[in-house]
Amino acid sequence: MIKVGIVGGTGYTGVELLRLLAQHPHVNVAAITSRSEAGIKVCDMYPNLRGHYDTLAFSEPDAKQLGAMDAVFFATPHGVAHTLAGELLDNGTRVIDLSADFRLRDANEWSRWYEQPHGAPALLGEAIYGLPEMHREKIKDARLIAVPGCYPTAVQLGYLPLLEAGLIDPQQLIADCKSGVTGAGRGAKVGSLLAEASESMKAYGASGHRHLPEISQGLKDISHASVGLTFVPHLTPMIRGIHATLYGQLTAEPGDLQALFEQRYADEPFVDVMPAGSHPETRSVKGINTCRLAVHRPGNGNTVVVLSVIDNLVKGASGQAIQNLNLMFGFDENMGLTAPALMP
C-alpha cells in the first residue's frame, strides 16, 4: 500500500482522481489540499464519495506532510506545481502533474503560451511526458511525470501509427476537435453556463491554443521531423468527452490501414481500435480510461481520416495520471481503471 496526496482536490480532475482511486487496492489517499476549503470533509463537498472518504478532509498545502507521501498528484492550475515539485522530489516523493507546468520542454515556449516565467526550468530536463503508449519504459523509472492534456492525448494517439510508419505528410495535418464543458474547469465562467453552452457549438483558439505547442512537440517526436499542424478546438454542449477528427495526406500507398492500427495498439490496454467503418461516440468512453479509434480512407483517395474519442477527465487527465502511477510503482497497469463505461 502506498500513500498519495492530491494538491488541488476541489476541481473536476481532483474529484475524478478520488473516484478512481477509491477502487485502487494499493493506494491510500492520505492528504488532499485546498486553501479555500480547508477543514471541509471530502464527502461533504462530494456526496458521491460518501462511504469511501468519510474521514478525509481538505487541508492547507504543507510541504512536510506532502513530502512524506510516496507520490503526489497536482490537480492544479498552471504555475502551482512549479513552487512545490522540486522540494517534494528532494524528499523522495514522486510527482505526477496534471497541469501544463512540465509538458513543454522549452521554458521560453512555455512562458510565451502561459504568459508568465516558468517557475522550475531546472526540472524540465527530467520530466517525462506521461503518454504510456509512447513512453512506457521511461515512465516506470520517472520521478516527475507531466500528464498530457486532453486534446493532445486524443490527437497524438490518432496520428501515432500513421506518423510512425511514415505514411502521411507531417506538414499537412489537420485536427478538428470538440470538447465537453468540463474541459474548461470547475471555476465559474460565463461561457460555461448552461444558458450559454447548451444548444450551441463554437470554435475557439483557432488562431492559437495552448495545447498546440504540446501536440506539435509530441508529433515531432513521433515523426522525427517538423510538423505543420492546424488545430481548431470547439466547445460542445456536453459535460464530458473529446472527439478529434484528424486528417492526413498520404505520401505512399498505405496498404491495410485497419491492420496497421490494430497491430500498433494490439498490446495497449487503453486503446481500442474499432472495427472497420466504425464511428466511435464520446458516450462510449464516458468515465473510462480508454481511447477508441477508427480509421477511414474516403473514396480510397489520398486523405486519411482518423476518429479519436476519449473522456477528457479520465484518459485526458485523471485516469491517465493513475495509469502512470501504476507503471511507476510496478502495479498492474489496469489497476483501478477496469470499470466499464457509463451508458447512457
Secondary structure of residue 291 in the 3-state scheme: strand
CA distances (Å), origin 153, targets 83, 122, 314: 26, 25, 11
Ranges of beta strands (E only) in 241-318 are 242-249, 271-273, 291-296, 303-310
Report whether 18 contacts 42 (CB < 8 A).
yes
Which of 251, 225, 151, 236 minimizes the C-alpha distance to 200?
Answer: 236
* Nine cell digits for residue 84: 512545490
Name the one residue in this structure whose C-alpha cell is 512562458: 111
Secondary structure of residue 337 in the 3-state scheme: coil
Report whether 321 contacts 96 (CB < 8 A).
yes
* SS (HEC) of 117-158: CCCCHHHCCCCEECCHHHHHHHHHCCCEEECCCHHHHHHHHH
Ranges of beta strands (E only) in the chain are 2-7, 27-33, 58-59, 71-74, 94-97, 128-129, 144-146, 173-179, 202-203, 229-235, 242-249, 271-273, 291-296, 303-310
- Give the separation between CA 202 and CA 323, rounded to whole angstroms: 32
Angle between helices 132-140 and 319-328 (to 10 degrees): 40
Q: For residue 222, what is the DSSP state?
A: H
150 is catalytic: yes
How many Cβ atoms from other residues are within 10 Å of residue 90's Cβ? 10
* Nine cell digits for residue 122: 531546472
Which of 292, 129, 136, 305 minimizes the C-alpha distance to 217?
Answer: 129
Which one of 43, 150, 177, 291 is the catalytic residue?
A: 150
Question: Which residues are identified as catalytic?
Answer: 150
